[in-house]
Every structure is written in structure tokens, then in C-alpha cells.
Structure 1
Amino acid sequence: MISHFFGWDRTPFTKEIPTESLYQSSSFQQCVARLQYMVKTRSFGLVTGEIGAGKSTAIRSLRDGLDLTKYQFIYLCDSSLKPRDFYRELLHHLGIPPKFLRSETKRQFEHAIWDLYENQQKTVVVIIDEAHLLQGDMLQEIRFLTNFQIDSVSPLALVMVGQPELRSTLQMRLFKPITQRMNVRYHLGGLDREETRKYIEHQLETAGAKHPIFTTETIDSIYGHTRGIPREINNVCTACLLDAVVRKEKLVDAMHVDRILNEYKEF
């Protein structure tokens, strides 16, 4: 609908954009660089960010850039995950039938990652997303993964990803042993005003736009409302484009943004 009206190759501001075509803001590049460092050094680290800041996109960028002959990528995103199921889930991703007892599955996983590392020269990369929703016993279980090392050599990279409250949780005395083991910590913030402009223009250019669609005043309004959070920018821009399509207008100005933001206030 949008792409047809404007004569573009595809619809902008969606998740379908290939990783090689992503807008590389400074904070996004920093985040991906740290993720890559944790993988290459087989480290334990933490990435936080507001909802929609681009954490999942950074993870996708990391995954798509991995040499799968050298890395085994495991992505977990289950807020209800319990210690008794944790190792079963990890073993499932490795294609290994889990045994019944938790102690047995834990030993199975440890044996599996060391076998991959020593005999196949392959590093297991474990990403635990939405970690801010995990219960305390699950956070403690994650810490035990960092014990799978010999003479300071770790066979896996482990990254916890979540919203800012995860940092507050981990600052509690109970979880100090976890933070003390973390080699890297990074908070992914929103875009600044100039980056917001570049982000919007990049999305449009990638979709096939040949000339500006959003006025400077429009971009200022979008930045003020979204605080530079990419997902929020996508939502507002998409709504503005739909409004423009319905009205058969080829330029998105402040009036479109005002109408959309007034609609948002009703929810």
C-alpha cells in the first residue's frame, strides 16, 4: 500500500530490512562491536537498552555475521524459563537428547561445549534475551555457566540482554557474584536528533525513495515524541505515511505527525 503509492521498491520502517542495509548509528556500532568482542574472547557480558532501542537488531547483526563453521549460536528468549529446564533447552539447541535429572543435563551440556571447543574448534555462543524478566533462581543458574572453564579458558560466550531494570537487579548484593564475572557491559541508548534524521532518510532511501518525504519540522516532532528509539520512530513514521496515503499526499509534514500523536493519546 505505502510502497505502491510512493513508487518504492519496498515498505520502509519494517523488520524485513537485511542486516547489511541497517542504519549504523554510533551506539549501534558500539553495541555490535562489544557483542563481537564477547564472542571472539568467549566472555560473559551484559547488554541493556530501552524497549525498541535495537537490542534484538544488534543480536541479529551479530548472528548473521558469524562463521557457522566456527560458532554454534544459541538464542534463548523465555521469561518463564526455570533452572530445571534451562540445560534441557540448551541441549535441545545442540541436538542432544537430555537426560532426566538436572544434574545430568548440566554435565551433558558441559561435556558438549568442551567437545565442540576442543575437538571441533567450535565456540558455543549463548544469548539470553529478555533476561530482566527472569526469576532470581534462574539468574543464579546462569552464573554457573561461567564455571565451565579450565585454567581461565572458557569454551563458550555468554551474553545476557534485557531492559535497564536488569542492571538494577544485578546491583543487588545477592547477584554481585554475577556482575563480578562480567567482562563487558553496554547500554544501548536512543538516537540523537541528527541520527534520527539520518535514520529516517536511510530507511526511505533503502526502500527506494529518490527525494525527501519528511520535512525538517516533521523530523523534529518525531524525535521529540520518540526520544530517538528506533521502534517508536518506525511506528510513528509508518502511521504518518499511511495518513499521507489516505489523503493522497506525497509529503509528510507536521500536520500528519500532530494527527498521529493525537491518535496515540487516546490509547
Structure 2
Amino acid sequence: MFEAFYELSRSPFSRDVPPSELYESAILEETLGRLEYAAERQWFAVVTGDCGTGKTTTIRRFTEELDAAKFKVLYLSDSKLTPRHFYKGLLEQLGCESKFYRGDAKRQLHREIELMRGIHGL
């Protein structure tokens, strides 16, 4: 309805908006800068915020600029994760079957990350 009224070619409020076409707000630029800082140092980063504030969209925008040969982005969006499911979710994204116990899964994740860094340079 509003697309026709404003003569838009597509809805500006959908998830399929290309990240390169997002509004470049000061907050977006600050967040992207912080994520870049963490990525350059091979740190983990956590983005938090209220529902609908653009966390996922910001991460989509950030990952679009990363060199896939150098970086591996792991994304979990469940706000009620237990530590065990946190490790399980990350290991699954790396293509690994997670150990059952949290401590074992944590060590397994650390090992996989060190392999990515040392062997693959990710």
C-alpha cells in the first residue's frame, strides 16, 4: 500500500534490503567500527539491544564487508541460551558435532578456533 503511494520499487522494511543500501546513521557507523576493531584483533564480539533495533541488520551489513577468506562469522540469535547450547550452536556452525558436557564442548570449541587460526588463518 505505502509502496505504491510513495512510488517505491520494494518495501523498505523487509529483511531482503541489501545491506549496502542501509541508512548510514552515526550509531551504525560506531557499531561497525567497533566490530571491525574486534575482527582485526580476532576477538569475539557480542551485539545486544532491544528487539527491532537492527542488531541482525547491522551484522548483515558488517559481514558483507569482511573477506570470507580471512574471517568466519558465527551468529547466534537466541536470547535464552544456556552455556551448553551456546557452545553447541557455535560448534554446529563450524560443522562439528558438539560434545555433550558443557566443559567438553567448551574445550572442543577452543580447539576448533585455534585450528581455524593456526592452520586456516581465519
Identify unmatched segments of 5+ residues in structure 2: none
Q: Deviations over 1:95-150 (max 9, x none)?
A: 0112232222122111110000000001xxxxxxxxxxxxxxxxxxxxxxxxxxxx
Q: Counterpart in 2 of 1:74?
A: 74
- Counting aligned pairs with the same residue, the percent is 37
- CA–CA separation in structure 2 for the residues paired with 1:21 and 1:62: 13
TM-score, with normalisation over the residues of structure 2?
Answer: 0.82
The structure-2 alpha-carbon separation of the partners of 1:53 and 1:116, relative to structure 1 and needing over 3 Å to count, comes to same
TM-score, with normalisation over the residues of structure 1?
Answer: 0.41
SS at match of 2:74: strand
- CA–CA separation in structure 1 for the residues paired with 2:119 and 2:20: 32
Q: Counterpart in 1 of 2:59?
A: 59
> With CA pairs under 8 Å and 6+ residues apart, which has the higher RCO, 1 or 2?
1
Q: Is the 8 A contact 2:84 2:105 kept in 1?
A: no
Q: Deviations over 1:145-169 (max 9, x none)?
A: xxxxxxxxxxxxxxxxxxxxxxxxx
- CA–CA separation in structure 2 for the residues paired with 1:54 and 1:11: 16
AA of the residue aligned to 2:22: L
Alignment of 1:1-267 (within 5 A): 1-45=1-45, 47-122=47-122
The alignment of Structure 1 onto Structure 2 pairs a total of residues equal to: 122
- CA–CA separation in structure 2 for the residues paired with 1:81 and 1:89: 9
- CA–CA separation in structure 2 for the residues paired with 1:100 and 1:52: 33
Q: Deviations over 1:60-105 (max 9, x none)?
A: 2112222211111111111221122222221111001122322221
Superposed displacement of residue 54, structure 1? 2.9
- CA–CA separation in structure 2 for the residues paired with 1:14 and 1:20: 14
- CA–CA separation in structure 2 for the residues paired with 1:62 and 1:68: 12
After alignment, is 9-18 or 107-116 more displaced?
9-18
- CA–CA separation in structure 2 for the residues paired with 1:101 and 1:23: 43
Superposed displacement of residue 46, structure 1? 5.5
- CA–CA separation in structure 2 for the residues paired with 1:8 and 1:109: 46
The structure-2 alpha-carbon separation of the partners of 1:118 and 1:9, relative to structure 1 and needing over 3 Å to count, comes to same
Query: Who wins on radius of gyration, i.e. which is larger?
Result: 1
- CA–CA separation in structure 2 for the residues paired with 1:48 and 1:98: 25
- CA–CA separation in structure 1 for the residues paired with 2:114 and 2:14: 39
Q: Which has the higher strand share?
A: 1
SS at match of 2:72: strand
- CA–CA separation in structure 2 for the residues paired with 1:85 and 1:37: 27
Identify unmatched segments of 5+ residues in structure 1: 123-267
The structure-2 alpha-carbon separation of the partners of 1:42 and 1:79, relative to structure 1 and needing over 3 Å to count, comes to same
